[in-house]
Structure 1
């Protein structure tokens, strides 16, 4: 017997849950999800994009999510995500808004818009809590009043499921354990609680024996691995570029800081040198002034110019100038 295909592969997931012959499987899965969130059960669904043979991994336009409509006109979209594309909150809101807006044809009133339910099954941790099933609506923060029931978003995180625990009753957990498919020994127990889940297991076993289905499955696995590698490479390249840009910005900031520190040090050294030069100049001026004062005193005592020059180191012309000035003072 061939190894079972991975039901988390979106191609296989749509073959099991999104085909007309297995519409009852999808209905059972949706009801388990909605009932756990306190929502009423669905009685009937219409597949809007059922699986066909054209949904092949060879076609890049193939869509492997599942879109259905309920009896009251609500739209339900189920998507399997095997790896983290990041910005999942914005991505989810973007596709939810497109789904919501596409209902309204030009000229029709807004009241024709119906509720849209998005169910994301994630094979990676996403929300910062321990719940494997988280549901979001649009409420007022303080009073809890619902603004509109038209938006409903579910995140089912397979990574938060304990595969060692065997459920004792039916519920959403049984379906997620099947999708996680790490412990197939408990499948018989899971089937006992939900007949439709048993049908999903049979559908998977049948697909696993189909050579063409296995070939397409392997093609899809390769495409998913290639996409994951491409995204990882792009993130690594972006991180590398960010680090390099950060280093260059750091170097430029360092150069600017260095220039500023250099200017400050230069100003400080300049102030010190200027102070020193000013002090020296002051001393020189002080010495000159003191020397002239001595020369003046010696002149008043009648000493000759040559003798005074030898004592004060002033030139004879400087001493004559002092003597002339002294004579003017005496005349006055």
Structure 2
């Protein structure tokens, strides 16, 4: 989504990944750092022409970093310029790969000669786009996710226009039911295609036990 609400979406995904680190009977010190990397084809951070931004939790006056458990990166592709950037070479190569569209093979030929690990990147990319299960599964998830967002926005708009409190409660239940039904529908389709159950759980948000019962 090309607007400022993406910041909240990024925080939501980071938080979801962070809390799922804590398994049953674990203690808080068992939590591990989560690094969120957001690749954007639009400009998000205002008043900055930096293609790469990194955020931590810092004390306001001393800049003391509270913890390394939260680290959020934004790679804004449209701000990248091959001839004018202060990125270190490795990150610059990533931007070149991500910005390549029409001449990806030519770009990768150059990048692989400079950095052999880019061959692994290119191989994984091809594996993803050529796998119907992975590509279609993610595409369907994105489609359903945005459909639910649009539905939520319309219902929330109605609430803000002055609906009765009882109606608000009913609408909230309807939103929750709609989201659940979408998750279940997505999971069923993925099971039919024999996708890995852990991947289904990650894409839909359903637990493995819920998926096994479908």
TM-score of the two chains, using structure 2 as the length reference: 0.53
Seen in structure 2, the aligned counterparts of structure 1 residues 114 and 216 have a Cα distance that, compared at 3 Å, is closer
| RMSD (CA atoms) | 3.9
Deviation at 1:201, TM superposition (A): 2.6
Alignment pair present for 1:201 and 2:122: yes
The correspondence of residues 276-295 of structure 1 with structure 2, limited to 5 A, is: none
Q: Which residue of 2 aligns with 1:296?
A: none
Alignment pair present for 1:149 and 2:86: no
Deviation at 1:136, TM superposition (A): 0.7
Task: Assess if the C-alpha contact under 8 Å between 1:118 and 1:154 holds in 2.
Answer: yes
Q: Distance in 1 between matches of 2:123 and 2:22?
A: 39
Seen in structure 2, the aligned counterparts of structure 1 residues 95 and 217 have a Cα distance that, compared at 3 Å, is closer
Q: Which residue of 2 aligns with 1:130?
A: 49
The gaps in structure 1 that reach 5 residues or longer are 1-82, 246-332
Q: Distance in 2 between matches of 1:94 and 1:120?
A: 12
Selected match of 1:110 from 28, 48, 69: 28
Q: Which residue of 1 aligns with 2:100?
A: 181
Seen in structure 2, the aligned counterparts of structure 1 residues 111 and 227 have a Cα distance that, compared at 3 Å, is closer
TM-score of the two chains, using structure 1 as the length reference: 0.37
Total equivalences in the alignment: 152
Q: Which residue of 2 aligns with 1:161?
A: 80
Task: Assess if the C-alpha contact under 8 Å between 1:166 and 1:186 holds in 2.
Answer: no
The gaps in structure 2 that reach 5 residues or longer are 162-214
Q: Distance in 2 between matches of 1:119 and 1:219?
A: 22
Q: Distance in 1 between matches of 2:109 and 2:85?
A: 11
Q: Distance in 1 between matches of 2:19 and 2:138?
A: 32
Deviation at 1:187, TM superposition (A): 2.8
Deviations 1:129-159 (A, max 9, x none): 2111111111111111222222111111222
Q: Distance in 2 between matches of 1:115 and 1:93?
A: 14
Structure of greater relative contact order (alpha carbons < 8 Å, 6+ residues apart): 1
Task: Assess if the C-alpha contact under 8 Å between 1:104 and 1:113 holds in 2.
Answer: yes
Q: Which runs of 4 or more aligned residues in structure 1 lie more than 6 Å from their structure 2 counterparts after TM superposition?
A: 164-167
Task: Assess if the C-alpha contact under 8 Å between 1:99 and 1:116 holds in 2.
Answer: yes
